[in-house]
Structure 1
Amino acid sequence: MAICLSKKNRIFGLHTNNTSYVFGVDGLGLIRHIYWGEKINDLDEFSLPVLCEVSTNDSVYEITPEEFPVYGGLRYKEHCLKVNFSDGTRELIYKYIGYEIKEEELIINLADTHYSFQINLHYKLYEEEDLIERWVSLKNSSEDIIEVEKIHSAQFHIPYENLNFSNVHGHWGAEQQRFTQRVSYGKMLVENRRGISTHNHNPYFILDKDATETNGEVFFGALRLSGNFSGVVEQTQYGETLVQMGINSHDFMLKLKPKKEFTAPSIISGYTNKGFEAMSHNLHNFAKKNLLRPGLRPVLYNSWEATEFKVNCEEQIRLAKIAKKIGAELFVVDDGWFGERNSIDKGLGDWYVDKDKFPKGLKPLIDEVKAMGMMFGIWVEPEMVNPLSQLYKDHVDWIYHFDTRETDTSRGQYVLNVTKPEVKEFIYNMLDSLLSTYDIDYIKWDANRPIAQSGTDKAIWYKHIEVIYDIVKELKKKHPKVLFEACASGGGRIDYGILGIFDDFWTSDNTDAYDRLKIQDSYSYIYPIKAMRAWVTDCPNFLSRRNIPIKFRYHSAMMGSLGIGCNILKFSKEDIKLSKELIEEYKKIRPIIQEGDFYRISSNSENNYHCFQYVKQEEAVLFVFLPQSKLGHRGIRVRLRGLQKDKVYSFNYNGQQLKMTGNYLMKYGIDLRLVGDYDSAIIHFSVL
């Protein structure tokens, strides 16, 4: 059984295919962590030794490895929960009440010893993926409001010191820059305080014991929350490393009303002793199986770089015809189709079709796109409003603001207070009307600025994103075929909270094909390839000013869900021909890329090769990139991963059709040599 209980010792065991997670109730009634690691079947072997305080400055409460530490008493460590009761008491004392088991979910019931306040710890198992989803729910059974000042969803105990911590840093145009640093004494914090999105850090943790791609112990967790989060990593004085993650307590206060419940966002967590590759596969498989909409993502064309705000029906039809010619399956009109939207300063909030640009509405364009056999998509930014819009003039009180302060604009925008029922209703009705009026298949939902002047409700930071989730969920119920893309001024909204509610991630506004290799590599550690939108765009790139050959640009973008953002009106005959060939090639290998297992392949060459591989059943695809040749022009031997060792694979390289066993390809590999700057190759392997 996956969930086990030793009633004699009051110890609980959670077992996946390869791991065990064990905790128990000790003599003081505290929920104490015991073990997280490789699978141990016999729960009766575990016990809860009596803990003694080190001194009067190191009480039992301080040294006990609690599953869910709360604020109060002689606890000075990081706590997951802090509340204020109506009579002024500002500490919790919990007692163990009991447990429930619902299919693959264990619930530990705790309650305050004096107040009618319950804490429920939830553990849900995904056995095949070796993952545990953890969260906490609170219930106020009293007659008074209880203020929740801090709530982290879970605490994790790792029985090692001097671990390596990994996350990403970055900013707009440079998101997903992976970093690793050694954990020592003191605390490490990753967080977001902006409300809407962050390009700086991401809501997950990876802690490893000098692991590699294929070996070593890795502990990890991804928070299912967009918006304000915080994560704390601490190496304690008692020989372990702690991790907490949840809603950021910065400027946060949730007023839990009488008889109401609150459920915190969950954390998808796991352990492996097989390195980062196994971690990524487990998370990717979880997402593909439990969150992502089934079916392949279409090849899209987006008209932004071709037209920017100068959108008109005739030119969009011209673009659509060329997009169809090269093989696009989805045509997306970006910003500029609505209101008086001729710059970033106007129109946002006035969601009516611009009659000067589309005299007969969007229908003539959509009809043309549909007649070509393509899907149709459109860009929106529903959370924002321009001060110059009619919407703002009519509803000045709909934005986040303080009456006595001037409200900050950013990118010429205010943020709508979506937690107001009338604002939520407006956004839903606007999008519902758009989707009901027009045959739209794809919504690109953008969000280009953070929240400021957030008002008096300190829970607004969390409530805002919950409203966005609710709107999209309701829209998808009524319009189930529509795909939604999460965009936040680039890759600001990449997280497991929005994944599954939205179908695609816009990874970065930086579409430089060389920069994207690093961005996409960092993304792949936690997030599934299927949801990663990657575009081919014009050169010189608007950010890097680099000129990169079109084949390299396509190959870089073909590593995810392929999109094209070039001004294809300026394409030469050769560009059209090559685009058509490469998109056709992508469609053949797309099931392997979007639905297969992803491998980061290490390089043994003095040259700076970048190698990535995908495997699905009896097929594999290898991407090889050489951004710049170094002196000596050395090649590379690539040892493939994940093949069936006894099967013979056929593949074409340099015009030769070759046959090799999976065993040979994984142990010896293949010798490859790219030449010059920005050379790249894709090799497709199939079992004979």
Structure 2
Amino acid sequence: MDSSTVFHLTNGGTSVIIDASSAGLPAILYWGEDLGEQGSLEDFATASRPQRVSGGLDTPAQLTLVPQESFGWQGTPGLTGTREGLALFPRLTTTDMSSTGSELRFTAADPGAGLRLNAIISVTGAGLLRQRLHLTNEGPTPCEIGSLLAVFPVPSSAVEILDTTGRHLRERSPQRHTLTTGTYRRESRRGRPGLDATLLLAAGETAFGFESGQVHAVHCAWSGNHQLLVEKTPTGAAFIAAGELLLPREIVLEPGETYAAPDALASWANGLNQLAQRFHQEQRTRPSHPHRARPVTLNTWEAVYFDHDLSRLTRLADQAARVGIERFVLDDGWFRGRRDDTAGLGDWFVDDGVWPDGLDPLIDHVRSLGMEFGLWFEPEMINPDSDLAREHPDWILQAAGRLPPSARQQQVLNLAIPEAWDYILERMDAILAAHDIAYIKWDHNRDLMEAATAGSGGAAVHRNVLALYRLLDELKRRHPALEIESCASGGGRVDLGILARTDRIWTSDCIDPLERLVIQKYTGLLVAPELMGMHIGGPVSHSTHRAHSLPFRAATAVFGHYGVEWDIADLDEQDTAELASWIALHQRWRGLLHTGQVVHADLPDPAMDLRGIVGQDRTAALFAYTLTGSSASYPPGRIRFPGLDPTARYTVAPAGGALEHPDAGQSRLDWVEAALGGTPLVLSGRLLGSSGVQAPVLFPEQSVLIEVRQVP
């Protein structure tokens, strides 16, 4: 190993420069735009090293990939732990290293501490920077790991933080902070990422937006407790970091055992549009990514709730087929003892009191109409009022001698117990093997609290996440065509760990279109649109009681994995035809919508929202312009269309929504009249992106879809 080697990793438009000559472990010196061929970078490494200052250490500490106090680092350490009650102060030093053009692998060891670190630092084809860290106990006694963080430096221009917070029915609300000296930390202790969790922690230039401003962000690909932090030290070093949040004695490595930290993936960009596109591209290149057209889905929950009646459900299925639905999903209430949400979880047998002939009559009817059939499960949960809980109370996660606080009248099953895992696998596999089921809605309706193994009292979140992953993997192995949705009180478990094993997420239990605009916008920073369940709700929202028109509800959902969450069985002919037309519009565009680049325009008026998806070849795009409230201007200003080819020419025309039914007291705009008259205006992509066109006058809470097509 050449201790003076400086590595330049490149891929997907990203460069990463790593100095391997620093004391202890390698250090990332640069991470951002592709620098092209640079030749020797030893001088750059020399120029980047911290300098000795008055009152400081004789040898200043450098921000390395796993910063250690033993090399003078006084910020948040990358590794903490104990051995036999004594604090660990490891001095991991690189012992072996190899590199390709886009990947660096290194091994570091501290024989005195009895630890070995294996790391893979790679730049993916999408331009993401990934860190994989594995820590092995090579000592003679058990070693407890407190934390193992993946650290990513951010440039000095990063002065503002963006993350998200939220709650049930209002997930992923953005919040911004000034990046000052000190640490800003976000943690999830809920046993899942949580409804208030931040998908990404981003740091960037002042007022960075979707279209401009350099920004760097990190994501922890883990479905349990996690931590994200951004820190700026008094020496000027700044970084973002991600890792699992470990409970006391949750990871105690016996001699020879290894802890694999969750993957940490980071993106950089000029603007959040490009930053998100890197994550979307990464998801689309995974082997398990769904490549067939995403079936338009009707879920029965807000249509019938627990009222499972065969005749009612077959009428609903008939109407679903009539409007173009392609997948019919039976939600909660089909299994033994489940007449409300107080009982039955864990007893995964078809309830013969409700379904005397089983599920086949409904499934056969749905399949005869040309639709797929899906079924709801909540495998990780258990009601105390269930046969399973009465037979195996020790399978419930709990502190010694008492149950945790109840939530939704349910507790959590300890899948880390092999017998519990085997039982759930057997029950789900039996249902899937006996019926023609193409899809599972996999729910998870409460946070984990006091998540310990009964009897021993040992923390069990980590082992339950791994058991969940094994269960998903095994079901997919036995049923290769099965698709699975990750639902967790809506959007409570949205991360790339769960998405590596599932086919979409339920974005939120709230499908009020006004709320969904924000929820979908910020979920989309991480998740590609084809993996985000976006449904048309009923005229009055189940969760907010706001009333909205069908065009607004339909337009807000059109970009994602489209669906309906609404009792449509008794719609009149006009509403039936209108719903069918929206589904047909989505089906015409979904090839582009589910492969293209998501863009949001930074508009000065907060009441104006412009978002869209541009095809990868930029020959066509579909945009939605929404007025969320009354605008300060009347008429409103211009709307711009980002992401187009600036050198190409495009036509601009209404595609659906309020523009086709002007009722806001305005005359039609000239560009709309021209398009509806068959001679749309032709403008360059540069003009559409920089200046745009006059926005139509809409009532608050109206949307219009606009199609943009390149002129050959």
Superposed pair shares fold, TM > 0.5? yes
Is contact 1:633–1:675 with CA below 8 Å preserved after alignment?
Answer: no
SS in 1 for 2:494: coil
Q: What is the letter of the counterpart of residue 11 of structure 1?
A: V
Q: Which residue is equivalent to 1:486?
A: 486
Moved more, 514-523 or 77-86: 77-86
1:178 to partner: Cα distance: 1.0
Q: Determine the C-alpha separation between the residues in 2 that align with 1:667 and 1:27.
A: 45
Is contact 2:218–2:240 with CA below 8 Å preserved after alignment?
Answer: no
TM-score, L = length of structure 2: 0.90
Is contact 1:202–1:495 with CA below 8 Å preserved after alignment?
Answer: no
Moved more, 256-265 or 155-164: 155-164
Q: Which residue is equivalent to 2:31?
A: 36
Q: Which of 280, 285, 297 pairs up with 1:284?
A: 280
Q: Determine the C-alpha separation between the residues in 2 that align with 1:321 and 1:117.
A: 63
Relative distance call for 1:299 and 1:275 in structure 2 (3 A) is same
Q: What is the letter of the counterpart of residue 110 of structure 1?
A: A
1:191 to partner: Cα distance: 1.1
Q: Which residue is equivalent to 1:303?
A: 300
- Are residues 1:679 and 2:702 paired? yes
- Are residues 1:253 and 2:275 paired? no
Q: Determine the C-alpha separation between the residues in 2 that align with 1:102 and 1:23.
A: 13
Unpaired runs of 5+ residues, structure 1, are none
Q: What is the letter of the counterpart of residue 472 of structure 1?
A: L
Relative distance call for 1:113 and 1:27 in structure 2 (3 A) is farther
Q: Determine the C-alpha separation between the residues in 1 that align with 2:403 and 2:492.
A: 26
Q: Which residue is equivalent to 2:219?
A: 222
Relative distance call for 1:458 and 1:93 in structure 2 (3 A) is farther
Q: Determine the C-alpha separation between the residues in 1 that align with 2:71 and 2:628.
A: 58
1:633 to partner: Cα distance: 3.6
Moved more, 65-74 or 420-429: 65-74
1:27 to partner: Cα distance: 6.1
1:74 to partner: Cα distance: 5.2
Moved more, 665-674 or 536-545: 665-674
- Are residues 1:622 and 2:643 paired? no
Matches within 5 A, 1:177-576: 177-210=173-206, 211-251=208-248, 253-272=250-269, 274-290=270-286, 292-455=289-452, 456=456, 460-576=460-576
Q: Determine the C-alpha separation between the residues in 2 that align with 1:531 and 1:30.
A: 38
- Are residues 1:589 and 2:602 paired? no
1:575 to partner: Cα distance: 1.2
Matches within 5 A, 1:113-124: 113-124=111-122
Matches within 5 A, 1:623-662: 623-630=624-631, 633-653=634-654, 654=672, 655-657=676-678, 658-662=680-684
Is contact 2:50–2:60 with CA below 8 Å preserved after alignment?
Answer: no
Q: Determine the C-alpha separation between the residues in 2 that align with 1:474 and 1:588.
A: 35
SS in 1 for 2:643: coil
Q: Determine the C-alpha separation between the residues in 1 that align with 2:85 and 2:249.
A: 20
Q: Determine the C-alpha separation between the residues in 1 that align with 2:22 and 2:584.
A: 66
Q: Determine the C-alpha separation between the residues in 1 that align with 2:3 and 2:21.
A: 12
Q: Determine the C-alpha separation between the residues in 1 that align with 2:223 and 2:292.
A: 25
1:632 to partner: Cα distance: 5.8
Cα deviation digits, residues 188-235 of structure 1 (max 9, x gap): 111100103411122422111123333322111211111200112111
Relative distance call for 1:650 and 1:76 in structure 2 (3 A) is closer
Q: Determine the C-alpha separation between the residues in 2 that align with 1:257 and 1:459.
A: 16
Q: What is the letter of the counterpart of residue 99 of structure 1?
A: M
Cα deviation digits, residues 413-466 of structure 1 (max 9, x gap): 110011111111111111111111111011001111111232256552222112
TM-score, L = length of structure 1: 0.93
Is contact 2:3–2:21 with CA below 8 Å preserved after alignment?
Answer: no
Q: What is the letter of the counterpart of residue 468 of structure 2?
A: I
Q: Determine the C-alpha separation between the residues in 2 that align with 1:136 and 1:578.
A: 53
Q: What is the letter of the counterpart of residue 300 of structure 2?
A: S
1:630 to partner: Cα distance: 4.2
Q: What is the letter of the counterpart of residue 513 of structure 2?
A: A
Q: Determine the C-alpha separation between the residues in 2 that align with 1:27 and 1:450.
A: 43
- Are residues 1:20 and 2:15 paired? yes
Q: What is the letter of the counterpart of residue 643 of structure 1?
A: L
SS in 1 for 2:576: helix
Q: Determine the C-alpha separation between the residues in 2 that align with 1:414 and 1:599.
A: 41
Q: Determine the C-alpha separation between the residues in 2 that align with 1:256 and 1:60.
A: 35
Relative distance call for 1:132 and 1:503 in structure 2 (3 A) is same
- Are residues 1:160 and 2:156 paired? yes
Q: Determine the C-alpha separation between the residues in 1 that align with 2:630 and 2:524.
A: 26
Is contact 1:303–1:333 with CA below 8 Å preserved after alignment?
Answer: yes
Q: Which residue is equivalent to 2:169?
A: 173
1:162 to partner: Cα distance: 5.9
SS in 2 for 1:148: strand
Q: Determine the C-alpha separation between the residues in 2 that align with 1:646 and 1:76.
A: 51
Moved more, 496-505 or 287-296: 287-296
Is contact 2:10–2:102 with CA below 8 Å preserved after alignment?
Answer: no
SS in 1 for 2:538: coil
Q: What is the letter of the counterpart of residue 118 of structure 1?
A: R
Cα deviation digits, residues 278-301 of structure 1 (max 9, x gap): 111111111112263222211100
Q: Determine the C-alpha separation between the residues in 2 that align with 1:467 and 1:102.
A: 34
Q: What is the letter of the counterpart of residue 634 of structure 1?
A: P
Q: What is the letter of the counterpart of residue 461 of structure 1?
A: V
Relative distance call for 1:17 and 1:310 in structure 2 (3 A) is closer
Q: Determine the C-alpha separation between the residues in 2 that align with 1:603 and 1:64.
A: 41
1:582 to partner: Cα distance: 0.8
Q: Which residue is equivalent to 1:146?
A: 143
Is contact 1:203–1:225 with CA below 8 Å preserved after alignment?
Answer: no
1:502 to partner: Cα distance: 1.1
Q: Determine the C-alpha separation between the residues in 2 that align with 1:184 and 1:607.
A: 27
SS in 2 for 1:680: strand
Q: Determine the C-alpha separation between the residues in 1 that align with 2:487 and 2:169.
A: 13
Relative distance call for 1:410 and 1:17 in structure 2 (3 A) is closer
SS in 2 for 1:175: strand
Is contact 1:445–1:485 with CA below 8 Å preserved after alignment?
Answer: yes
Relative distance call for 1:408 and 1:27 in structure 2 (3 A) is closer
1:94 to partner: Cα distance: 1.4
Is contact 1:645–1:661 with CA below 8 Å preserved after alignment?
Answer: no
1:13 to partner: Cα distance: 2.2
Q: Which residue is equivalent to 1:608?
A: 607
Q: Which residue is equivalent to 2:668?
A: none
Q: Which residue is equivalent to 2:66?
A: 68
Q: Determine the C-alpha separation between the residues in 1 that align with 2:521 and 2:152.
A: 26
Q: Percent identity?
A: 26
1:557 to partner: Cα distance: 1.1
Q: Determine the C-alpha separation between the residues in 1 that align with 2:85 and 2:689.
A: 67
Is contact 1:173–1:490 with CA below 8 Å preserved after alignment?
Answer: yes
Q: Determine the C-alpha separation between the residues in 2 that align with 1:423 and 1:165.
A: 42
Q: Which of 103, 106, 113 pairs up with 1:105?
A: 103
1:390 to partner: Cα distance: 0.5
1:68 to partner: Cα distance: 0.7
Relative distance call for 1:383 and 1:120 in structure 2 (3 A) is same
1:661 to partner: Cα distance: 4.1
Q: What is the letter of the counterpart of residue 387 of structure 2?
A: Q
